[in-house]
Amino acid sequence: MFWHPSEPDIDVASAISQGSRDYQEDAVIADFPVGAEFGMVVLADGMGGHAAGDVASKTVVTEVFRHLKFRSDSIPYQGTNIPALLGEAATAANLATMRHIAKHPDAAGMGATLVSTVFVDNRLYWMSIGDSPLFHFRNGKLSQLNEDHSLSPQIDFLVEAGMMDAETGRNHPNRNCLTSVIMGEDIAKKDCPAEPFEIKQGDIFIVASDGLQYLQDTQIEKILHKNRKERCTEIARALLTSVEALKDPDQDNVTISVVKINRLVSVRKQTAPAPQLSNFQHAPALQPKAANEGGAGQIAATTGYARKSSGSRFARASNGQ
C-alpha cells in the first residue's frame, strides 16, 4: 500500500533563471508555513549592474520580508491595516537602500522593483513598485492585477491611438524604463489598493520579474490553462521552460512564484496577539530543491497551509520626482 500526499490548501513553487545576463539580479522569498493563517511572496528585480543590482534586490526582499515576518502573529487579524503594513515595509526597504548607498558611494544608482503580496483568508493584498507583474488566472483568463510603473503603458497607448505602429512599440528601446523604483529616494508611484482582491478556489497567481514577459500574455495564459490541474512545481517548470525555449540572446533574469488556491483557509475569529520579539525569525536563504532539465533554471516548491484535520533603467517621472 502506498501513501500519496493530498494537495495542500495552498500550493506554492518558485523558479529562477539567469537568462542570458551575466549576473542574477532577481530575489524572491515565498513563505507559506504549514499551519499558519497567512502567507506571502516578496519579489524584487534589481538594477545597477553587478556592483549593485543583486545587492539592491536582496536588500529590498530581506527588509520587506523581515518587517512583515515580525508582524506574522497579528497580520491575519489586521484587516484594513494590512496595506499600511505593506507601506511601512516598503519604506523600510527604501531606507535600507539609502543607508547602503551612503556607505558605498560606488553603488549610487542602484535600485529594485518590488512586489510584496499577503494572502489571508479569501483576500489578497499587495504593494507594487516598478514593473514586476502580479498575474491572476481564473476561468481560463489571465489578467495583470498591479500597475506597470514603466513607459510600456504610454507606448502601448500610442500604438492603440495609431500614433505608433505595433512593431515599433513592441521593440521601443525605452519600453522598459521605470517610472518608479526603490532606490533610496522619494518613491514616485506606489500601487497598494486599500481594498483587497477577493480570492476564489481554483485561482492561480503569479508573482514575477519582467523577464517572464518575454512571453506574450496569450502564451502565459495558454500555459496556465494547459497546466491548471498540475502542482505548482510543474506550472513553474512549464513557464520557465517556455521562456528558455525562446533562446532570446537578450533574455533578462526570470523569477517566478506560482500560488495556487486549492481550498480557502478561514482565519479564526479572535483578538490579535501583540507582536513579540521572540516570535521574529530571520528567513533562511532560498535553497532550490530541484533543477529543471536544462540546468539553467532552478525550481523550489513550498507546500502551503496545513490540511484541515543590466544597468539603470529608471526614468524620472514627469512631475520631476
Reported as a single tens digit per residue, the pLDDT across 208-247 is 999 999 999 999 999 999 999 999 999 999 999 999 999 9
What was the pLDDT predicted at 172?
Answer: 84
Decide if 311 is inside a domain. no
Decide if 230 is inside a domain. yes
Decide if 309 is inside a domain. no
What was the pLDDT predicted at 300?
Answer: 62
Decide if 272 is inside a domain. yes
pTM value surpassing 0.85? no
Lowest mean pLDDT segment, chosen from 44-48, 271-275, 289-293: 289-293
Decide if 1 is inside a domain. no
Decide if 317 is inside a domain. no
Q: To the nearest whole percent, how much of the chain has pLDDT over 90?
A: 63
Lowest mean pLDDT segment, chosen from 6-10, 41-45, 233-237: 6-10
What was the pLDDT predicted at 278?
Answer: 33
Please indicate whether residue 309 or residue 55 has the higher confidence score (pLDDT): 55
Indicate whether 265 pLDDT > 80: no
What was the pLDDT predicted at 317?
Answer: 38
Reported as a single tens digit per residue, the pLDDT across 55-96 is 999 999 999 999 999 988 888 777 779 999 999 999 999 999
**Rg (the chain; Cα; Å):** 19
**Other CB atoms within 10 A of residue 272 CB:** 14
Alpha helix (H) residue ranges in the chain: 53-70, 82-103, 152-160, 166-170, 217-226, 232-245
What was the pLDDT predicted at 297?
Answer: 64
What was the pLDDT predicted at 201?
Answer: 96
User: Judging by beta carbons within 10 Å of its beta carbon (0-12, 13-18, 19+), is residue 123 exposed, middle or buried?
Assistant: middle
Question: Domain total for the chain?
Answer: 1
What was the pLDDT predicted at 144?
Answer: 98
Angle between helices 217-226 and 232-245 (to 10 degrees): 140
Indicate whether 109 pLDDT > 50: yes
Banded pLDDT at 37 (limits 50, 70, 90): confident
Decide if 314 is inside a domain. no
The SS3 call for residue 300 is strand
Structural domain of 79: 10-303
Question: What type of residue is 285?
Answer: A
Q: How far apart are the C-alpha atoms of 24 and 38, rounded to whole Å?
A: 29
What was the pLDDT predicted at 49?
Answer: 64
**What's the Cα-to-Cα distance from 25 to each of 62, 115, 237, 311, rounded to whole Å?**
14, 15, 20, 10
Compute the average pLDDT of residues 135-148.
98
What was the pLDDT predicted at 308?
Answer: 28
Query: CB–CB of 202/234 below 8 Å?
Result: no
Angle between helices 82-103 and 53-70 (to 10 degrees): 140
Reported as a single tens digit per residue, the pLDDT across 169-213 is 887 878 879 999 999 999 999 999 999 999 999 999 999 999 999
Q: How far apart are the C-alpha atoms of 179 and 149, rounded to whole Å?
A: 5
What was the pLDDT predicted at 274?
Answer: 44
What was the pLDDT predicted at 315?
Answer: 53
What was the pLDDT predicted at 280?
Answer: 32
Indicate whether 320 pLDDT > 80: no
CATH number of domain containing 298: 3.60.40.10
What was the pLDDT predicted at 313?
Answer: 56
| Mean pLDDT of the chain, nearest integer | 84
Banded pLDDT at 269 (limits 50, 70, 90): low
Number of helices (H) and strands (E) in the chain: give both, helices first: 6, 13
Decide if 316 is inside a domain. no
